[in-house]
Chains A and B, each alone.
Chain A
Amino acid sequence: MSSHREPSALGRFLERHADQILIWPAVLLLLAFSIFPTIASATLALSRLDLAPGGFTLTFVGLRNFQRLLFGSQQDHLLGTMAPLGPLATGLWLAAAGLVLVGIARYVVRNLGREPLALVVGLFGRVLAALLFLALLALVLSTNAPGGFPGSLVTTLVYVLGGVSIQFLLGLGLALLVARPIKGRRFFRVVFFLPLMVTPVGIAYGFRMLADTGKGPLAPIWQAFGLEEFAWAADPWAARIVVMIGDTWQWTPFMFLVLLAALETQPKDQVEAAWLDGAGPWQVFRFVTWPAIAPVAATVVLIRLIEAFKIIDLPNVLTNGGPGFATESLTLHAFIAWRTQDLGGSAAVGYILLFVAVVTCTSFVNFLAKRARGP
């Protein structure tokens, strides 16, 4: 056996440091692509870039880029035009605020006995997440009130929350159907996987062809309803829905595939035992199937959340962000700012997106995914 051969000096060195050698390449590769980009883009976010003869000049402007986006001239682009809340929206917001307060109070009461530092860290995270949640809820409500108009932040939230939940429900429903004893399972598995393989730019152009009310394949249907002159690209919500249809078409396969795999690993005898005990289909799903697949469900939703915040190709190609900036996602907003030489503003939008995405994803992991995964 060759394993009895006397190892060389190099071999011994490698073995002794194996634990380090295994992980360092990955850490170094990630550091190489994160240290400088993070510093440089943070610098950009705090500066103004001006074209000068033979190059450009960078002027430090502090938080002015952020101020312009959140409170200044760019506010309606990023946040939208806010209108006063109606009584219903006010009630909704107050109810949400009450629930959040109760949740935080319960956390404090339950964890009073813990180490003070852990309590403070936990409380800080929860308060930050709660404040962001309530602020975003107020923003969504007031920009959608009569007279208001949503900006790119609200549009991104619509894409992320609307798109991911539709994709999850569709993917779960399809996976439940294909997991039943049916013929042609392999066929459906491959066919349902196909949309994920098309390049997003291609999907965007493809959907532009499909959604054409005059020359697209659905033109006869539009005509039947007398809508061949209907320009969905000129209607904010119709345009957003077309973008979300494209996104859903592409990403439902991902949810489907992973959830189907989770369903197939579920022990059959549990389900059969539940049937024999006289449980109905809903009860079997709620008390047997769902607990078994909940951890996987949490993981796929998290992956999708991270990717969905970065949506850019579809709105860029389908509507170019229009009408106005109704379909502009934050990434597209940053891209358009970049194209107009406003590099500082572009980086600032990116950092706002990073902040919202990180708080959302960590909240999801800490408050929902850990619960779904069980103790």
Chain B
Amino acid sequence: MSPLGAFFTYAALGVWAFVCLFPLYWIFVTSFKLPIHVNDGPVYVPFVDFTPSLHAWEYIFVDLRNDTLRPYLNSVVVALASTCLSLLVGSLAAYALTRVTYRVSLGAVGLFLALLAATVVAVVLAGVPWWLAAAVAIALLVLLLRALAGRFRRHLGNDDILFWMISNRILPPVVAVLPIYMMFQKVGLLDTHLALILTYAAVNLPIVVWLMRDFFATIPYEIEESAQIDGAGRFRIVATIILPLARAGLAATFLLVLILAWNEYLLALFLSTADAQTMPLLVAGQNATRGPQWWYMSVLIVLMVAPVVALAIALQRYIAKGFLVGAVKG
């Protein structure tokens, strides 16, 4: 690299590093500011142009104490549990989609949709109880599938299953959240960890399947074949050979999905009111009637970002490698 080229490279990288860091720096110093420092125009460096104060940290940790701690623990529990669940379910499905050729007959899908439509009509228009309609529909589906098995010739393949999974991610949460709210209300799980865990797991599942499929696709099939000859079953192969080999991909996917679950706001807004409230709600909650309480908000944002940064640095070497493998096949 020529000296001039090196200069411009580092200049560009330096500028972008500044762009990335400055907003975070600003949030960080704001957490040590008094309201007067914020409202009377910008002050930049603690100890130089203003005296830092711990009042916001005191408020968050002493005055609010349990009202900070509870959402924080909720966030940790919900993010970790939902990430683990979607990673487990999603990687098994992703593995299956790379190793097994599924043939979903188009007729069966059509039958399923037709019966679903009939159920909806029966419930909405004819007032049949929903459990009765669902039971009849499921029984009919099983019977008809048995009777018609082998009649359907057109099939959907793995790519179609994959696209169906991804397409679930396109429906905007604003539209889906009210029915999900009604579902959890029906089973009495509103404002519980379980509701958030299940919802986040389902919402992030397509991303897991998509990313993990690429990681699994790069593992050569021969490794499994030799284990199969030794008599190892499929689940043993997955647990002892495949998952360890894909740990880089698992780490990268884990981090990405964890970040999504940790930061999610809209679904939490609907599904949790008090007991299961998560951190993003607390951050938004600092926008009081007196206007946003920037200093409290900043403390909470710092508290939210810190563990993720620590985790990302810890997983850094996996991520670098992880995305690398996953990205090859896209």
Contact = CB atoms under 8 A, between A and B. Distances in A.
B12 interface: yes
A202 B297 CA distance: 8
Given A177-B12, A373-B330, A199 B263 contact: yes
Given A30-B168, A174-B16, A197 B309 contact: yes
Interface in B55-100: 89-90, 92-93, 95-97, 100
B120 A39 contact: yes
A214 B44 CA distance: 14
A193 B312 contact: yes
Contacts of A351: 175
B19 interface: yes
A354 to B, nearest CB: 6
Nearest to A11: B233
Nearest to A1: B230
B153 to A, nearest CB: 12
A37 to B, nearest CB: 4
A23 B102 contact: yes
Contacts of B93: 22-23, 25-27
Interface in A315-369: 317, 330-331, 334-335, 338, 343, 346-347, 350-351, 353-354, 357-358, 361
A32 B308 CA distance: 30
Contacts of B304: 198-199, 202
Interface string B168-200: 111111111011101100000000000000110
A13 B324 CA distance: 37
Contacts of B265: 199-201, 313
A147 B316 CA distance: 52
Given A30-B165, A32-B202, A35-B116, A180 B21 contact: no
A15 B235 CA distance: 8
Interface in A168-189: 170, 173-174, 177-178, 180-182, 186, 188-189
B178 A182 contact: no
Contacts of A177: 9, 12-13
Nearest to B29: A217
A29 B308 contact: no
Contact of A29 (B24, B202, B207): B202
B330 A26 contact: no
Contacts of A373: 330
Interface in B247-285: 259, 262-263, 265-266, 279-280, 283-284
A34 interface: yes
A158 interface: no
A207 interface: yes
How many interface residues does chain B have, given as a range? 35 or more
A343 B24 CA distance: 37
Contacts of A189: 316, 320
B202 A30 contact: yes
A205 B283 contact: yes
Nearest to A182: B9
B317 to A, nearest CB: 9
Q: Which of A1, A192, A220 has the most CB of B within 10 A?
A: A192
A26 B180 contact: no
Given A22-B96, A201-B280, A350 B23 contact: no
A215 B38 contact: yes
B312 A23 contact: no
Given A26-B90, A30-B165, A36-B179, A335 B174 contact: yes
A262 interface: yes
A-B residue pairs, 9 tightest by C-beta: A350-B175, A26-B93, A40-B179, A22-B96, A199-B263, A261-B323, A37-B179, A33-B202, A299-B330
Given A18-B234, A33-B199, A295-B330, 13 more contacts: A22-B92, A33-B203, A38-B171, A180-B9, A191-B17, A192-B17, A199-B304, A206-B27, A209-B26, A312-B266, A331-B172, A335-B174, A350-B174
20 contacts: A14-B233, A19-B234, A22-B95, A29-B205, A33-B176, A33-B199, A34-B168, A38-B171, A41-B179, A177-B12, A188-B13, A189-B316, A190-B313, A193-B312, A197-B263, A220-B42, A346-B174, A350-B174, A354-B170, A354-B171
